[in-house]
Structure 1
Amino acid sequence: MTQVDVVLIGRNEGARLVAALASVTGQARQVVYVDSGSTDDSVAQAEAAGALVVNLDMTRPFTAARARNAGFDALSDPQFVLFIDGDCALVPGFIDAARAHLQAHPDLALVTGWRAEIHRDASIYNALCDWEWHRPAGTIDACGGDMMVRGAVWAALGGMNPNVIAAEDDEFCTRARKAGWRLERLPIGMTRHDAAMLRFGQWWARAVRTGHGFAQVGHLHPEYFVTQRRRVLVYGLAMPALAVLGLVTFWPLSVLALASYPLNHMRTLRGLVRDGVRPAEARRFAALLTLSKLPNMIGMARFHLRRLRRADMRIIEYK
């Protein structure tokens, strides 16, 4: 039977890391925990759970991609590697199902499953995350950082791009597809996640980070995130610019530009309800999704400014 190893990454996750470690104990040949400068007892907890601890070099800008690469490099003869974040708990049964599926389908580079929020109803932001995680099963273009990957594929592709600070998983998946591999999401639970996103400011920062990912991955792979970047440019840049221009030239232009937002909200709302989201919740989701184009635009602009200045790509934290 092909061996499965686990790589956990985290920083100051506290009880979340304890739960993550407990959820994988006894299910893998090797468990590696990569710590990114924690000031709590994360390292001690990981060692107590029997994990091999790798302390990431924090003299260089941190990225989750760097942490996952370091975890993989610490494994001995990795065959199938399960990557999960330190704020996630593994769902029982996933390792066996994922391993069997990879063994049965040699054209697959990786498999993933469904992530769900532990405290979904703690805030509208957590609920929105939970909705975002639940994507259709089957062949996919990309997935989040929770995935089981063939060690040979990871090594051949050189792992994740350490300079990508957001959507690094999308970027890795894109390279895997370009190399001829297939990716698949199984219709089963994989991890239980704790976003702990309770304030508007956290949601805004996460949306800025998302925009940075759209721009950076789109810069590396121009065919990817095309629709997302176009929407951000329209509602995060063009419409606000027209609204301001209309104030000093022709005021109806401002009215038309601002009217695009309730229209976008209505269109998004209809799509959410059609997908089964409860109307009351769908209205709030639609409002956040409509508003998100503004912080997304900030994130896209931040990436390009950093790129032109040749500045370090530093992470944008929301927790």
Structure 2
Amino acid sequence: MESPKCLGAVIIGRNEGDRLKACLRSTHTVIKNIVYVDSGSTDGSIEFAESMGVSVVNLDTSIPFSAARARNEGFRQLLKEHPETEYVQFVDGDCQVADGWLEAAYSFLENDPSCAIVCGRRQEKFPEASFYNLFCDIEWDTPVGEAGACGGDFLGRVEALEAVEGFNPSVIAGEEPEMCFRLREKNWKIFRIDHLMTHHDAQMTEFQQWWQRAKRCGHAYAQGFDMHGMSPEKYYRREVKSAITWGGVIPVLLLLVTGLAIVGLTPPFSLVLWLLPAVLFLKVLKYSLGPKKLPFQPAVLYSLSLVVAKIPELVGVQKYYQRKRKNSGFSIIEYK
């Protein structure tokens, strides 16, 4: 496919090393108008991007960083340099664009003027490297068709993105679903097509990384709910309620009744509360084996991770409201 002049790309990253090189090369095969937004890299990322003829934006790191802010600045720079751009591919620097994706996505947007964003399957490069990488790969595998949101990799229609003023730079996690919410409010549509889109390299091998990522999800739920929770959609209300219930209320009750039972101050039947986490686990396992169609062992591990993740999600919810109460500003929660 010869690169159409109406097609551009924005790539963001910081110290991604060889992953960024693969990202730039895979994108550059189809798109020539690329802006790379760097957030203080010290690994030669900027120099490599410039050697490919890619336009580079050095993000001012004295201002609180967010991926949303980086994408916005790259988007503005792309339109400044190439005002003819109609579609923009956003890619995270730890991802590699799959062969044929840009052609398929471009064709889809050209044929459906109601669609603001088209995304595909983000696939984890090394799911066998750790359980946590595997969980990411399972998470990326979402249903094909009209969707409520997308992730960080997608092809977007410039007209639609400008209509909602792009990403909200104050949203430090979950900025893509938040923007998609505003797009849908203006009757734009988001679609996921049955096509491999990007190869992602999470490099998540430690429990602490998984915990931080889950905590970041909780922060995103709380911030999203605080912004749009009173909408008819009740944006992220269920997720926040779930984190509070299963990450806080139920564990506290379990510890309380167990402690009282040990000293003989509570009826033995109260220990039936311990069955509640098992019920949640079986519910999630049913979904993992059913709609997700996972093999039994990965389904068990994935389901268990979703149940345990309620605790760090609650920590993330608390962190958001603590920061808001203190008016201390929001900084990103990194897991790698």
User: Aligning the two structures, in what range does the TM-score lie when normalised by the shorter sequence?
Assistant: over 0.9
Distance 2:149 2:155 in 1: 13
Give the counterpart of 1:199 among 184, 206, 231: 206
Distance 1:257 1:73 in 2: 54
The DSSP-based 3-state class of the residue aligned with 1:74 is helix
Distance 1:59 1:86 in 2: 21
Structure 1 residue aligned with 2:103:
96
Structure 2 residue aligned with 1:224:
235
Give the counterpart of 1:149 among 153, 156, 165: 156
- Aligned CA distance change for structure 1 residues 153 and 258 (closer, same or farther; 3 Å): same
Q: Does 1:292 align with 2:303?
A: no
C-alpha deviations, 1:6-32, integer Å up to 9, x for none? 100000000100100110113114111
Structure 2 residue aligned with 1:184:
191
- Aligned CA distance change for structure 1 residues 42 and 254 (closer, same or farther; 3 Å): farther
Higher-Rg member (1/2): 2
C-alpha deviations, 1:197-232, integer Å up to 9, x for none? 011111011000010011111111111122222221
Distance 1:215 1:4 in 2: 35
Structure 1 residue aligned with 2:170:
163
Residue correspondences, number? 319
Structure 1 residue aligned with 2:283:
267
Contact persistence 1:243–1:253 (CA under 8 A): no
Query: By how many angstroms is 1:262 displaced?
Result: 2.1
Q: Which residue identity is paired with 1:9?
A: I
Give the counterpart of 2:326 among 300, 305, 309: 309
Q: Which residue identity is paired with 2:61?
A: M
Identity of aligned residues (%): 39
The DSSP-based 3-state class of the residue aligned with 2:197 is strand
Q: Does 1:175 align with 2:185?
A: no
The DSSP-based 3-state class of the residue aligned with 2:171 is coil
Query: By how many angstroms is 1:257 displaced?
Result: 3.5
Give the counterpart of 1:34 among 32, 37, 48: 37
Q: Which residue identity is paired with 1:296?
A: E
Query: By how many angstroms is 1:251 displaced?
Result: 6.6
- 5+ residue gaps in structure 1? none
TM-score, normalising length: structure 1 = 0.96
Q: Does 1:130 align with 2:146?
A: no
C-alpha deviations, 1:154-190, integer Å up to 9, x for none? 1221110001011000000000000110110111011
Contact persistence 1:205–1:295 (CA under 8 A): yes
Structure 2 residue aligned with 1:237:
248
Distance 1:259 1:102 in 2: 48
Distance 1:128 1:230 in 2: 23
Structure 1 residue aligned with 2:67:
64
Contact persistence 1:244–1:254 (CA under 8 A): no
- Aligned CA distance change for structure 1 residues 144 and 255 (closer, same or farther; 3 Å): same
Distance 2:204 2:128 in 1: 11
Give the counterpart of 1:255 among 264, 271, 290: 271
TM-score, normalising length: structure 2 = 0.91
Give the counterpart of 1:17 among 4, 14, 20: 20
- 5+ residue gaps in structure 2? none
Q: CA RMSD in A?
A: 1.5
Q: Which residue identity is paired with 1:280?
A: Q
- Aligned CA distance change for structure 1 residues 116 and 30 (closer, same or farther; 3 Å): same
Distance 1:215 1:253 in 2: 35
Query: By how many angstroms is 1:258 displaced?
Result: 3.1
Distance 1:133 1:68 in 2: 21
C-alpha deviations, 1:30-64, integer Å up to 9, x for none? 11100001111111111112210100110011100
Q: How does 1:274-289 map to 2 (within 5 A)?
A: 274=290, 275-289=292-306
Query: By how many angstroms is 1:99 displaced?
Result: 1.1
